[in-house]
Chains A and B, each alone.
Chain A
Amino acid sequence: MEVPILKQGEILIATVQAALTDSDLLQLRRALVEKVAKARARAIIIDLTAMDVMDSFASRTMREVAHMIRLRGAETVIVGIQPDVAFAMVQLGLSMGGVTTALDLEEGLEYLHRKFRTI
């Protein structure tokens, strides 16, 4: 399942619509790293509200996305991780490392707009 990526101003928004397989996750990573430069975006938001499970592979791939996007000169905000999913991630011993997270898309956008205004 391909994840749609929309452009809103200087921000790319990727909204996960359903459970993703490992190859879907890798495809999303590739698409974001390519599009961030093409769109001259300053940030990306990945909305994981619909993600049923964040296991070790999904968490690692999201951390890698954030790292790659930073190397491309932009910022990543992960939003929408559900409470039960967050609980399971912690039990499993996973972390999102230094990746910025926000409650939902609205909060993520607000965080970025605030940040860009002050730069």
Chain B
Amino acid sequence: MENGLVVVENEICVSIAADHDVVAARQKGRAMALELGFSASDSTLLATAISELARNIVSYAGQGEIVLRATQNSGRPSVTVIARDDGPGIPSIEQALRDGYSTSGSLGLGLPGVRRLVDEFEITSEVGRGTTVTVHKWKG
């Protein structure tokens, strides 16, 4: 991340426990991006990433939360999404991030796809403790 003045303009936390929360999280994320001046196309990319991350929480952990943070970084807007759960964790992150482990939407976490939708992607996971995925998208 760049150095400079980082101003958090807005932060929303969405509890994720059921499939309607997945829709709520992505709609709030899209609204936040549009409010920051993101293009419709970039807002849809972000909303799609949020949808995937939120569904992973419902499918694999049962519940968790998604934090949406609107930030001005030296005047440049961005949205940070933090998807957090206390679920079973991911035994092999390397494998989970490999394309093919999860393409076609049939099995797996879809994380390689999510990584392509955003500008920055970070994951930490501990078996038995949970997973946190943090993604970042800049206004184009």
List chain A positions with a Cβ less than 8 A from chain B. 19-23, 52-57, 59-60, 82-85, 87-89, 91-95
Contact = CB atoms under 8 A, between A and B. Distances in A.
A56 B110 contact: yes
B99 interface: yes
Nearest to A85: B44
A23 B41 CA distance: 26
Given A60-B106, A92-B113, A52 B22 contact: no
Contact of A57 (B55, B103, B113, B116): B55
Interface stretch (B4-12, B23-31, B67-75): B23-31
B52 A92 contact: yes
Interface string B72-113: 000000000000000000000000000100011110001011
A93 B99 contact: yes
Contact of A21 (B20, B105, B116): B20
A57 B47 contact: no
Contact of A53 (B48, B112, B116): B48
Contacts of B55: 22, 55-57
A102 to B, nearest CB: 21
